[in-house]
Amino acid sequence: MIRLCLAGGLGRMGRAVASLAGSEEDIEIASVFETREAADLAGDYGVTVGYSKNPVVLTSDAAEAVGLSDAVVDFSLPSAFDKIVRACTGASKPLVTGTTGIPEKQEKLGPLASKTAVVGAPNMSVGMNVVFALCHRLGDVMGKTSDLEIVEIHHRTKKDVPSGTAGEIAGILSARTGKPIIIGRPAGAGERDGEIAIHSLRAGDVPGSHSVFFTPQGETLEITHTARSRVCFAEGALRAVRFVIQASPGLYSMLEVLGLESLKEE
């Protein structure tokens, strides 16, 4: 049985992971790391989120939460990220992190990745990572001759703009084509100048939708991924957990988890 520490276990994604883990034969939630205020308000974690598989320790002490686990899943806030990484590094615990909006995130994960396996990804869903893989290839095949536009839609309470997923898509395409990235277009911006543009919409309770437009002369190729619920992200996170438990030390993406890494090779 893999015992998980769930960082941000009271958030939307934390609850989705806990719900899915409750039905898995090989994974259980051993501990949850949350802010002191949230932990005090929640009381019994299992009762609060409907997780009844086993008792769960809910604590605001990152070292305690991490120490009770075999691996850590992080869907916390950026303000908690450094605490989780320090605790994982101190205990050499594998980490799966989907928290976005963190400057220099990959660099911060480096010391931990030298000791154990780490999966850092802006989006854990299987379908979205297929899109990432396709963008590597399509960037080579169509990117330089196409106008490139990215449109992302998320729920009204999402903190970061643009989404980490949209940023990942743009980064892949920019690396393949050499084109610069811009965020939106102000009034009077004029005609295009070879840029990759990201447009962000915030509305209602949309879990997440991303569209990538490749438009050379005479045609448009559109790739769209829509998350209908957070279950797809939770499923990807648990696949990543099973991966880091067995993998050698290093920093991995979901492409390695899913066996798609060959699609990004030169």
Catalytic residue IDs: 154, 158
User: Peptide bond before 162: cis, by omega within 30 degrees of 0?
Assistant: yes
Point out which residues pair with 31 in neighbouring strands: 5, 57
Q: How many residues are recorded in the chain?
A: 266
Which two tokens mark 246?
A: 């067995």
The one-letter amino acid code at 79 reads S
Write the DSSP assignment of 138-200 as a string of letters: HHHHTGGGSEEEEEEEE-TT--SSS-HHHHHHHHHHHHHH---EEES--TT--S--S-EEEEE
Helices and strands (H, E) in the chain, number of each type: 10, 12
Residues 25, 201: Cα–Cα separation, whole Å: 38
Point out which residues pair with 29 in neighbouring strands: 4
Q: Which residues contact 38 (CB under 8 A, 6 or more apart)?
A: 10, 60
Which two tokens mark 225?
A: 């991924």
Residues 108, 126: Cα–Cα separation, whole Å: 25
